[in-house]
A and B are shown apart, each in its own frame.
Chain A
């Protein structure tokens, strides 16, 4: 177990700032995901934690001790990469045992057997111990790589997109397994991914990064339901968040925002009045972010309808439908239960709660609260 603190961590490659002033505290035994698109600095951050890269500014602490002067081998971290590093010509058993055998004070045969079996069971390879690792499926090879890192019980476990070469069904299975394993073993785990589903589903906390900068650090619930800015709101969620231009007005003492477009109704945002009035976007330059699943489809003449739109496209996904609606030339997405499918061309009303509307300042990109 170890706590990791990144203090104003920076990394420059020549003119390029890969990571800028990153401050992050990763508690003992927690599962933290570094999430962002390619080039956001997440892998560089991970490489600095492991010691593969030297920071050009700031410091890294493990349990309060600065470590940036330490070699990777002195840091007691374990890695799993996207491209599994295994010995193809060795059996699964020998691959798993390797990290323990190379130790100065190696384990006894019985201890080794016991630990290999335990790890093999954890990664569901108990039945494959005698097989050559190189002859396994891609899925099983990645399990070997995971097991190899686990067996040496590093204080910190670093994973860099370990599932991205696996097929979708197996990824869904491994997500649950890894989350359970991490919980049971209790090691501090830092997981790098560009896949928001992986980050959301597994991590205790997510650090969302973009262009080398930390955008938000919070629980999956906070990241999803209280995004700090437009980037986070847009990056997280499997159905794209709706972003509609809006304008601000005050009426009868209430603060409200109105989606720009034909006969839209006002949404009361008095609870955010101070933040909106202090923002540069209050005089035009606000965007309203609404998650598709927070939109209820109602009759077009319903008094609950905030805006009215026409069904333009339905995407059936099996478990749900994504319903595309045309509102004043803009594409608005809603989620529908399968079967209750509206017909293309139907007029519908869109109803959503004020609390589901994120008011975003266009100039700063910040969500106003």
Chain B
């Protein structure tokens, strides 16, 4: 296996810049997810790695070998697309064996590797069947198996499970993660589903309109997003943003809201930030960090707008000032529409953004914010 590296890759289609100076390094054996909405350039990135697209600028490397101009067939990369294509007239065995037959691998070796791959994916009892006789999940396993039967330098998966139904997706998610970990192979995994990226990947690259926003561990993406876009892309329901105003004096920074006032420690990041007195800014707080029914001195008054029970947890939509803030509460919290409640924010999980959405400071567990309700 091999690491995959992109250096300053730009790809244009006519006047559209699909990829804009994209650089990242996938380590050998790493599960690397590229997450972004439709049209972000995820698939173009994969097509560039495999060689189906040639970058206008920049280079692609496998380990330290520059492969930018190499013919796709010579790159030795396996790719699985969302729309799986199996040979309908070949059995599962025939489908799995096909890439090896192409490579003129010895018959006994083909048999051994097909059997091993099929066992790994729990389809060894289906080897004689035709794809038409398989369920959607089984077909997807065969498609994955056909990529995995070879031992290429890297695997590229393009939304391989997004067409499956919800239950099957849950099952395949854990199975793929397990497989990748057990095999230790380099995998670049493209998805628009934040749950897939968060749950499976070692690291995640967030892509938006062809530009990499952040590359980080799942925890880093979640707790220290670099901007509002990244903060919104991961987490369900997404992060709340509360418009506030900056009050700065004598190097001390405070963030003011009609209901409360937050003192911000004189952190380097704050001192470097463009925030100045009177500027609008945003406080970001994830739903699970908003506590409903709090009692302490920092509790704020709110009204229940809607309560959404999900079974294992409840989303409580709160009217806080003139904004709706979503809280994720345990199912034991029972509130009804229009109830008056007290809420508190977990300040160790608070984020401060500029009005334009650039992150200034994420508490990420540290004690950098202090909140005081405004006397009314």
* Residues of A in contact with B (beta carbons under 8 Å apart): 37-38, 167-169, 172, 175-176, 179-180, 183, 194-197, 200-202, 220-221, 223-225, 234-240, 291-293, 312-313, 315-320, 322, 324, 331, 335, 338
Closest A residue, CB atoms, query B309: A220
Closest A residue, CB atoms, query B177: A313
| Pair B198/A331 contact, Cβ less than 8 Å | no
How far is B338's CA from A183's CA once the two chains are assembled, in angstroms?
11
- Of residues A291, A313, A318, A324, which shows the largest number of chain B Cβ atoms within 10 Å of its Cβ? A318
B173 close to chain A: CB less than 8 A: yes
B288 close to chain A: CB less than 8 A: yes
Question: A168-B236, A234-B167, A319-B328 are contacts. A176–B305 as well, Cβ < 8 Å?
Answer: yes
| Pair A324/B174 contact, Cβ less than 8 Å | yes
Question: A316-B218, A319-B287 are contacts. A235–B198 as well, Cβ < 8 Å?
Answer: no
Nearest-Cβ distance from residue B214 to partner chain A, whole angstroms: 14
| Pair A38/B311 contact, Cβ less than 8 Å | no
| Pair A176/B337 contact, Cβ less than 8 Å | no
B194 close to chain A: CB less than 8 A: yes
User: Cβ of A237: which chain B residues have Cβ within 8 Å of it?
Assistant: 311-312
B50 close to chain A: CB less than 8 A: no
Nearest-Cβ distance from residue B372 to partner chain A, whole angstroms: 27
| Pair A169/B238 contact, Cβ less than 8 Å | yes
Interface bits B316-351 vs A (CB < 8 Å: 1, else 0):
010000001010100000000100000000000000
User: Cβ of A175: which chain B residues have Cβ within 8 Å of it?
Assistant: 308
| Pair B222/A318 contact, Cβ less than 8 Å | yes
Task: List 24 A-B residue pairs with CB atoms under 8 Å apart, sorted by A's residue number.
Answer: A37-B165, A168-B194, A176-B324, A180-B317, A180-B337, A183-B337, A194-B166, A197-B310, A200-B308, A200-B311, A201-B309, A201-B315, A224-B311, A234-B167, A236-B311, A293-B313, A313-B177, A315-B174, A315-B177, A317-B199, A318-B198, A319-B236, A319-B287, A335-B312
- Extra A-B contacts (16), CB below 8 Å, given A313-B177, A316-B199: A38-B165, A176-B324, A179-B308, A180-B317, A183-B306, A197-B310, A201-B310, A293-B313, A315-B173, A315-B174, A315-B200, A316-B219, A317-B195, A318-B218, A319-B236, A319-B328
Q: How large is the interface on B (under 10, 10 to 19, 20 to 34, 35 or more residues)?
A: 35 or more
How far is B313's CA from A133's CA once the two chains are assembled, in angstroms?
37
B232 close to chain A: CB less than 8 A: yes
User: Cβ of A313: which chain B residues have Cβ within 8 Å of it?
Assistant: 174, 177-178, 181
| Pair A167/B37 contact, Cβ less than 8 Å | yes
Nearest-Cβ distance from residue B202 to partner chain A, whole angstroms: 11
How far is B201's CA from A39's CA once the two chains are assembled, in angstroms?
33
Closest B residue, CB atoms, query A38: B165
| Pair A202/B308 contact, Cβ less than 8 Å | yes
| Pair A238/B174 contact, Cβ less than 8 Å | no
User: Cβ of A194: which chain B residues have Cβ within 8 Å of it?
Assistant: 165-166
How far is B39's CA from A167's CA once the two chains are assembled, in angstroms?
13
How far is B201's CA from A316's CA once the two chains are assembled, in angstroms?
9
User: Cβ of A240: which chain B residues have Cβ within 8 Å of it?
Assistant: 167, 170-171
B184 close to chain A: CB less than 8 A: no
Nearest-Cβ distance from residue B12 to partner chain A, whole angstroms: 24
Nearest-Cβ distance from residue B246 to partner chain A, whole angstroms: 26
How far is B222's CA from A175's CA once the two chains are assembled, in angstroms?
23
How far is B313's CA from A200's CA once the two chains are assembled, in angstroms?
11
B243 close to chain A: CB less than 8 A: no
How far is B326's CA from A192's CA once the two chains are assembled, in angstroms?
24
* Residues of B in contact with A (beta carbons under 8 Å apart): 37, 165-167, 170-171, 173-174, 177-178, 181, 194-195, 198-200, 218-219, 222, 232, 234-238, 286-288, 305-306, 308-313, 315, 317, 324, 326, 328, 337
User: Cβ of A37: which chain B residues have Cβ within 8 Å of it?
Assistant: 165
| Pair B198/A317 contact, Cβ less than 8 Å | yes
| Pair B288/A319 contact, Cβ less than 8 Å | yes
| Pair B305/A318 contact, Cβ less than 8 Å | no
Checking A169, A238, A338 against B312 with a beta-carbon cut-off of 8 angstroms, the contacting residue is A238
How far is B181's CA from A202's CA once the two chains are assembled, in angstroms?
38
Question: A235-B167, A315-B174 are contacts. A220–B194 as well, Cβ < 8 Å?
Answer: no
| Pair B288/A176 contact, Cβ less than 8 Å | no
Closest B residue, CB atoms, query A234: B167
User: Cβ of B232: which chain A residues have Cβ within 8 Å of it?
Assistant: 169
Closest B residue, CB atoms, query A324: B174
| Pair B218/A319 contact, Cβ less than 8 Å | no
- Of residues B198, B288, B311, which shows the largest number of chain A Cβ atoms within 10 Å of its Cβ? B311
| Pair B312/A322 contact, Cβ less than 8 Å | no
How far is B305's CA from A238's CA once the two chains are assembled, in angstroms?
23
Closest A residue, CB atoms, query B223: A318
How far is B195's CA from A331's CA once the two chains are assembled, in angstroms?
19
How far is B199's CA from A322's CA once the two chains are assembled, in angstroms?
8
| Pair B167/A200 contact, Cβ less than 8 Å | no
How far is B216's CA from A26's CA once the two chains are assembled, in angstroms?
49
How far is B219's CA from A293's CA once the two chains are assembled, in angstroms?
21
| Pair B237/A172 contact, Cβ less than 8 Å | yes
How far is B309's CA from A201's CA once the two chains are assembled, in angstroms?
5
User: Cβ of B288: which chain A residues have Cβ within 8 Å of it?
Assistant: 319-320
Closest A residue, CB atoms, query B195: A317
How far is B165's CA from A313's CA once the two chains are assembled, in angstroms?
22
How far is B311's CA from A317's CA once the two chains are assembled, in angstroms?
17
- Of residues A221, A223, A235, A317, which shows the largest number of chain B Cβ atoms within 10 Å of its Cβ? A317
| Pair A172/B238 contact, Cβ less than 8 Å | yes
Q: For the complex of A and B, list the 5 residue pairs with the smallest distance between their C-beta atoms, beginning with the closest.
A: A201-B308, A224-B311, A315-B199, A172-B237, A319-B288
How far is B172's CA from A240's CA once the two chains are assembled, in angstroms?
12
User: Cβ of B308: which chain A residues have Cβ within 8 Å of it?
Assistant: 175-176, 179, 200-202
How far is B323's CA from A176's CA once the two chains are assembled, in angstroms?
13
User: Cβ of B287: which chain A residues have Cβ within 8 Å of it?
Assistant: 319
Closest A residue, CB atoms, query B328: A319
| Pair B309/A221 contact, Cβ less than 8 Å | yes
Nearest-Cβ distance from residue A273 to partner chain B, whole angstroms: 27
| Pair B165/A176 contact, Cβ less than 8 Å | no
User: Cβ of B222: which chain A residues have Cβ within 8 Å of it?
Assistant: 316, 318
User: Cβ of B324: which chain A residues have Cβ within 8 Å of it?
Assistant: 176
Nearest-Cβ distance from residue A121 to partner chain B, whole angstroms: 14
User: Cβ of A197: which chain B residues have Cβ within 8 Å of it?
Assistant: 310
Question: A169-B232, A316-B219 are contacts. A291–B173 as well, Cβ < 8 Å?
Answer: no
How far is B125's CA from A327's CA once the two chains are assembled, in angstroms?
24
Question: A239-B312, A293-B312, A313-B177 are contacts. A179–B198 as well, Cβ < 8 Å?
Answer: no
